[in-house]
Amino acid sequence: MESLLNRETVKRVQRALNVFNKNIYIQIQDKSAGTAIEAANSLSCEVGAIVKSLILKSDNSFLLCLISGDKRCSLKKVKKLIEQKKVYMANADDVKNITGFTIGGVSPIGHLTKVNILIDNNLARFEDIFAAAGHPNCIFKINFNDLIKTVENKYLDSDLSDDKSLSDIQNRFKCILIDEFQDTDNIQWNLIKKFFNDKKHFLLWQSYQLLN
């Protein structure tokens, strides 16, 4: 199984990870992680913590959607976001040509061709998430904020699923308290505004810890 780390597709993902953080390593699974359920069973984690990398095709371009493993991608929402009338799943040949990966091993990073990327914010529910790394038996662990930082192209934070998880969260709380606000970066702040823009924000910070 160690030979999998020497495959060109897997090495390409590791190189992309190294650019961001050399401490993120690709893990080899004894069982195939080609589907979200298989990956979750192999890793003993929730299905939602698995990143599904879906290549979609519109009239004039390709698009990568990173979806939480327990959700279904809403093509209707994607069409609205990218302002295209026709959006559909790319076939296996297109996926291979665009990403350099076969279906089941498509990674969020390390593609042969740059594509715009949509990230489902349902993935933010989990402390750690797991994504394919160029082969159905290879994965890497990362957190949601770092996943956003590793992708090279445009990030659009949106609920891309067919259900109402985001609205359920928004309706559950009347206000939010953000402690250690001085450690909040732009990505985290954008997510907070996305989830709770119409809520009251209570920000707590220590002025002497603020970075110049």
What are the start-end ranges of the E strands in the chain?
26-28, 50-58, 62-68, 87-89, 116-120, 129-132, 138-142, 155-158, 175-178, 200-203
Q: What is the mean pLDDT of residues 45-63?
A: 91
Element (H, E) at 187: helix 186-196
**Predicted TM-score (pTM) of this structure:** 0.72
Rounded CA gap, 108 and 13, in Å? 9
DSSP type of residue 183: G
Model confidence at 157, pLDDT cuts 50, 70, 90, reads very low
Provide the percentage of residues in the chain whose pLDDT is more than 70.
73
Per-residue confidence at 109, pLDDT binned at 50, 70, 90? very high
| Torsion, Cα of 75, 76, 80, 84 (10° steps) | 60
Beta-strand pair 87-89/155-158:
unpaired
Neighbours of 162 (CB within 10 A): 13
